Structure 1
Amino acid sequence: MRTAPGRTVANEVVLACLVLLCSLAPLPLLPPAHPVPGVLVGVWAALLVPARRRYPAFAVLGCIPVLAGENVWATAVVPWVVWSAARRIPSARRAWTAVAASATGAVLLSVIAQARSGLPTLPYVLTGAAVAALFVVLPALSGRVLGRRRPLRRLLQERNAYLEQARFLTDEAARMEERARIAGEMHDLLGHRIGLIAVHAGALQLAAERQAPPLAPQAELLHTTAGTAMDELRGILGVLRHRSAEDVGDRGTREALSALVEDSRSAGVDVALNWNAGELTEPDPRIRQAVHRVTREGLTNALKHAPGAPVRVMFQDDGDSVVVTVANDAPPTPRSPGEGSRSGLVGLQERVRLLGGALQAGHRPEGGFVLSARMPSRPNVQPEYATSPMRLSEGAGSRPPLSTEVLTWPRLLGGGCAALLVLLPTIGGIVALLIMAVLQ
Structure 2
Amino acid sequence: MTEEEQQLPVPPGHGPSGAARRLRREAAEISAALRATPRRTVLAEALVCALTAAFGLIPLLLIPPDRPVLAVLEALWAVLLVAARRGRPVAAVLCAFPLVMGANVWVLAVVPLIVLSATRRIAPPRRAWRIVGVACAALAGLTVAAGLFRWETLPMKLAENAVSAVLLLLLPTLAGTMLGRRRPMVDLLRERNSYLEQTRTLTDAAARLEERTRIAREMHDLLGHRLSLISVHAGALELAAARQAPPLVGQVELLRTTAGTAMDELREILGVLRRTDLSDDTGTDRGTYEDITALVAQSRQTGGGPVELVWSVPDTVEVGARVRQAIHRVVREGLTNVLKHASGAPTLVEVRGTDAGIEVDVTNGVPRLPGDSQGGTRSGLAGLQERISLLDGAFGAGALPDGGFRVTAWLPSHTISTEAARHGPVPTASEPGAAPLPHVPRPPSGGTWRPGPSSPLSAETLTWPRVLGAGCTAVVVVLPTAGFLIVLLVLAALR
The count of aligned residue pairs is 430
Q: Distance in 2 between matches of 1:173 and 1:223?
A: 38
TM-score, normalised to structure 1, is 0.92
Q: Do residues 361 (structure 1) and 397 (structure 2) align?
A: yes
Distance 1:261 1:279, change over 3 A: farther
Paired residues of 2:310 and 2:348 also in contact (CA < 8 A): yes
Indicate the SS of the match to 1:102.
Answer: helix
1:60-81 residue CA offsets vs partner (Å, 9 max, x unmatched): 1211221111100112111111
In the alignment, what sits opposite 2:466?
Answer: 411
Q: Distance in 2 between matches of 1:279 and 1:58?
A: 69
Q: Do residues 438 (structure 1) and 493 (structure 2) align?
A: yes
In the alignment, what sits opposite 1:168?
Answer: 201
Q: Which amino acid is the alignment partner of residue 64 of structure 2?
A: P
Indicate the SS of the match to 1:316.
Answer: strand
Question: How far does residue 381 in structure 1 lie from its aligned partner after superposition?
Answer: 4.3
Question: How far does residue 216 in structure 1 lie from its aligned partner after superposition?
Answer: 0.7
Q: Which amino acid is the alignment partner of residue 374 of structure 1?
A: W
Q: Which amino acid is the alignment partner of residue 286 of structure 2?
A: R
Question: How far does residue 399 in structure 1 lie from its aligned partner after superposition?
Answer: 6.8
Q: Distance in 2 between matches of 1:341 and 1:54?
A: 68
Q: Do residues 292 (structure 1) and 323 (structure 2) align?
A: no
- Say which of 180, 200, 212 aligns to 2:233: 200
Q: Distance in 2 between matches of 1:118 and 1:33?
A: 22
Q: Distance in 2 between matches of 1:368 and 1:121?
A: 104
Distance 1:89 1:333, change over 3 A: closer
**More displaced stretch, 276-285 vs 139-148:** 276-285
Paired residues of 2:317 and 2:354 also in contact (CA < 8 A): no
In the alignment, what sits opposite 2:353?
Answer: 317
Distance 1:61 1:69, change over 3 A: same
In the alignment, what sits opposite 1:268?
Answer: 303
Structure 2 matches for 1:46-57, cutoff 5 A?
Answer: 46-57=79-90
Indicate the SS of the match to 1:31.
Answer: coil
Question: How far does residue 279 in structure 1 lie from its aligned partner after superposition?
Answer: 5.1
Paired residues of 1:41 and 1:66 also in contact (CA < 8 A): yes
Q: Distance in 1 between matches of 2:407 and 2:350?
A: 10
Q: Which amino acid is the alignment partner of residue 364 of structure 1?
A: L
Indicate the SS of the match to 1:54.
Answer: coil
1:220-247 residue CA offsets vs partner (Å, 9 max, x unmatched): 1000100111111111111111133432
In the alignment, what sits opposite 2:428?
Answer: none
**More displaced stretch, 241-250 vs 260-269:** 241-250
Q: Which amino acid is the alignment partner of residue 372 of structure 1?
A: T
Structure 2 matches for 1:367-386, cutoff 5 A?
Answer: 367-382=403-418
Q: Which amino acid is the alignment partner of residue 328 of structure 2?
A: H
In the alignment, what sits opposite 1:152?
Answer: 185
Q: Do residues 428 (structure 1) and 461 (structure 2) align?
A: no
Indicate the SS of the match to 2:229.
Answer: helix
Q: Distance in 1 between matches of 2:358 and 2:53?
A: 65
- Say which of 199, 211, 236 aligns to 2:269: 236
In the alignment, what sits opposite 1:97?
Answer: 130
Gaps spanning 5+ residues in structure 1: where?
389-397
Q: Distance in 2 between matches of 1:387 and 1:60?
A: 48
Distance 1:117 1:38, change over 3 A: farther
Indicate the SS of the match to 2:85.
Answer: helix
Question: How far does residue 98 in structure 1 lie from its aligned partner after superposition?
Answer: 1.8
Q: Which amino acid is the alignment partner of residue 433 of structure 1?
A: L
Q: Distance in 2 between matches of 1:334 and 1:175?
A: 44
- Say which of 229, 254, 273 aligns to 2:289: 254
Question: How far does residue 17 in structure 1 lie from its aligned partner after superposition?
Answer: 2.6
Q: Which amino acid is the alignment partner of residue 338 of structure 2?
A: A
Structure 2 matches for 1:79-228, cutoff 5 A?
Answer: 79-114=112-147, 116=149, 119-228=152-261
Q: Which amino acid is the alignment partner of residue 276 of structure 1?
A: S
Q: Distance in 2 between matches of 1:16 and 1:210?
A: 101
Question: How far does residue 337 in structure 1 lie from its aligned partner after superposition?
Answer: 4.1
Paired residues of 2:94 and 2:132 also in contact (CA < 8 A): yes
Distance 1:168 1:325, change over 3 A: same
Overall identity of the aligned pairs, in % = 51
Paired residues of 1:63 and 1:78 also in contact (CA < 8 A): yes
Indicate the SS of the match to 1:208.
Answer: helix
Q: Distance in 1 between matches of 2:146 and 2:64?
A: 19
Indicate the SS of the match to 1:25.
Answer: helix
Indicate the SS of the match to 2:377.
Answer: coil
Gaps spanning 5+ residues in structure 2: where?
1-29, 424-452
In the alignment, what sits opposite 1:2?
Answer: 31
Distance 1:277 1:92, change over 3 A: closer
